[in-house]
Chains A and B, each alone.
Chain A
């Protein structure tokens, strides 16, 4: 177990260097960011030269990357063109996104698995069919449509929940974006759970458990559900990363200053430091989430062992 984790952690190093370098190259492919700072005015050559020197823009790309990584290992992520340190951007954006992810992830897990279990146990009945129809509808509507419609109805027209999140991030204000963000994944989780639960109800060990005379809730929760969750956990693990980095659409609709939005701003303003800094942290989260998923397999299924 310990050796397995260590090996996995060591594997992360080349992945980490590779991804950061790729992102670095991609942001640079967008061209020289200095001209855009001057708007519709041609930059003063003296000032533009000074700015290029400050951000090492005159060096060859590989040297810029080496300089950047050198600073990164001293926990210096650099600054944006507005003079804000990327570390302070990270400190502002990640907690917000973590809260949003926590809300969305909870909704996704509770309702996704709950609905999936319900329809899996009652295959072919009304409950099953309505869950299938509901999830089909949710999957087929793009997030921004659900986002704007719910925002207008719940936030503006009925005034039940705040329409946007903004500066003071409260649980109430995160509820609406959480639902929107969770909706599509929730549908996938429900369908995945339903299929595996439906398959496993016919399995020998479930029949044995029923024959032993175990109470129904113990059969369902300890025997049936636990074994059915392995593919669901795999999906949830990768989805956790996607929720953190890919919440851009939801974040823009609900005015959430989280990771997705800050990353988007970084790309628009061609602030390499912001983009690479945020992606670096995202890559680490992705890698750790995947490791966690692999370790969870062993917890769910005692037959899986890591040497």
Chain B
């Protein structure tokens, strides 16, 4: 289709705004990027929680947080390397008591200065259990967390004793344990600073959040769209290269793809499988990217069930892992938008902890060895393997394919079946209340690009996402050693030593690393995805 037609209809759709639905008129410049406004129209999903930094734990809210906030640390979108953003320095002599100094002169987009108190107040707010912030557990390493968020009952303190403001640009943080790579975790959105208006007029703040990042919110209609423009007060290094971002909430990935094709949308990072198949075939004109993200998919085992905790069951778990033909599934089911996993982290970590092939033979398809190990371990406990998954997500195809692979290896068509569970909520309820009797799908999306994030929450005893309830004192103490290491490089090696214990214990089988995919219109260029599979909005240029 000629591009002239596309533009004409896009413009008509915008200018005939006489019939605006909700009366919230926003006829400013939405979609008029083609006439030189320089605005990027991008796909968006409705955030699950209110737009507060410590209450945002999914990718849609996270995308906005990264645009309107700048924290102490930022991550390079290509290498994942952490560098100072608002922080001037974060130092410690004992890896436990940290001093944070800020670059002076930073401002929120409402004109108020970013000070040490902006951080300390924000963190105290995020941790206090009565504020109901879903990211509260990110502050658990700070001294006094158990007083503001006791496991039961009301908080006994309003602020954490480990946080102290020294002066406008300096504050200190006392942790409960040694944590060498702690500064590198601070790019996560839970650690962003908050302006005074957040506390003084909270309801108004939520309607139009204010931050210190490269963009600021011009208008926000909940569950519909958000218009962002460059923040003139932003002092960091990621200055926007476009005139603004218009985030549009879509009801369905196919609807967004239709808009992308008809020229009504510029950046689409939730492509359906069919769209990816078409785009990978070539007609995208190079405007399609399929790149690794910090997400690993695994199958976890309920090690709290007696039949799965025996020494024999360990052999069975190893056998099952070898019975999965990852490469074929990745190619046929996922159109190469996954990469077969060879460790328990993610390739985006790079030097921060990824080690290709760490999993070794365990993650290599080997039918004979697999069958032998499963038989040696006394066969599958209960005679049949059921892999549980939430049916409201796109999991049926690969679970069936995985079972197929296992069935073929064992020469038994009923050795493995999928077990769909209606909703994600119900699925998670059964996992956290330890009601699983067989393996279940688990996925881990990193919060910050560090091997620590792939190990500590997921595999240490009592870890917040230790769904298989893996309990290995050696692993736990090795994680502590790694956290107390004198420097980041040693810490990474120590974590990899811990990770190697997973090869024999197999609390979870690594399946594949997930990629992020994005397609864009001819109207924009320089589109890339960061390690969190979010478009790097600041870098997008409009032609």
Binding site for B on A (CB under 8 A): 30-33, 35-47, 49-51, 54, 81-84, 88-89, 91-92, 95-96, 99, 148, 151-152, 155-159, 161-164, 166-173, 251-257, 261-262, 265, 268-270
Contact = CB atoms under 8 A, between A and B. Distances in A.
A32 B425 contact: yes
Interface in B411-465: 422-426, 428-429, 432, 442-445, 457, 464-465
A169 B130 CA distance: 40
Contact of A44 (B17, B50, B136): B136
Interface string B152-176: 1001000000000000000000000
A50 B130 contact: yes
26 contacts: A36-B428, A38-B134, A43-B432, A44-B129, A45-B151, A49-B129, A50-B130, A81-B48, A92-B21, A92-B221, A92-B222, A92-B223, A92-B224, A95-B22, A99-B19, A159-B6, A163-B262, A163-B264, A164-B255, A171-B16, A172-B12, A172-B16, A253-B252, A255-B250, A265-B223, A268-B392
A145 to B, nearest CB: 13
Interface residues of B, number: 74
A40 B467 CA distance: 9
A46 B136 contact: yes
Given A92-B21, A148-B254, A155-B258, A44 B49 contact: no
Contacts of B357: none
B232 interface: no
Interface in B1-25: 1, 5-6, 8-9, 12-14, 16-22
Given A36-B424, A156-B262, A50 B129 contact: yes
B340 interface: no
Interface of B: 1, 5-6, 8-9, 12-14, 16-22, 26-27, 30, 46-50, 57-58, 129-130, 132-134, 136-137, 149-152, 155, 206, 221-225, 248-252, 254-256, 258-259, 261-262, 264, 392, 422-426, 428-429, 432, 442-445, 457, 464-467
A31 B50 CA distance: 22
Contact of B251 (A45, A171, A252): A252
A36 B248 CA distance: 24
Given A44-B137, A82-B50, A159-B6, A172 B13 contact: yes
A243 B429 CA distance: 35
Contacts of B466: 42
A31 B149 contact: no
B258 A156 contact: yes
A41 B539 CA distance: 31
A250 to B, nearest CB: 10
Contacts of B130: 50
Given A37-B134, A81-B48, A255-B251, A91 B22 contact: yes
B536 to A, nearest CB: 23
B155 to A, nearest CB: 8
A86 to B, nearest CB: 12
A166 B248 contact: yes
Contact of B426 (A31, A89, A254, A257): A31
A54 B133 CA distance: 13
B1 A156 contact: yes
A83 B1 contact: no
A168 B24 CA distance: 10
B249 A257 contact: yes
Nearest to B425: A36
Given A40-B444, A44-B136, A157-B1, A35 B50 contact: no
Nearest to A160: B9
A41 B425 contact: no
A150 B5 CA distance: 18
10 closest A-B pairs by CB: A36-B425, A46-B129, A83-B50, A255-B255, A169-B21, A46-B149, A35-B428, A159-B5, A252-B252, A163-B262
A254 B20 contact: no
A156 B467 CA distance: 45
Contact of B445 (A40, A164, A171): A40
A46 to B, nearest CB: 4
A109 B513 CA distance: 53
A164 B258 contact: yes
Contacts of A152: 258
A269 B261 CA distance: 30
Nearest to A162: B13
Contacts of B30: 167-168
Contact of B222 (A88, A253, A270): A88
Nearest to A30: B423
A84 B129 contact: no
Contacts of A251: 251
Given A46-B136, A82-B49, A152-B258, A99 B222 contact: no
B483 to A, nearest CB: 19
Contacts of A38: 57, 134, 428
Given A151-B258, A257-B224, A39 B58 contact: yes
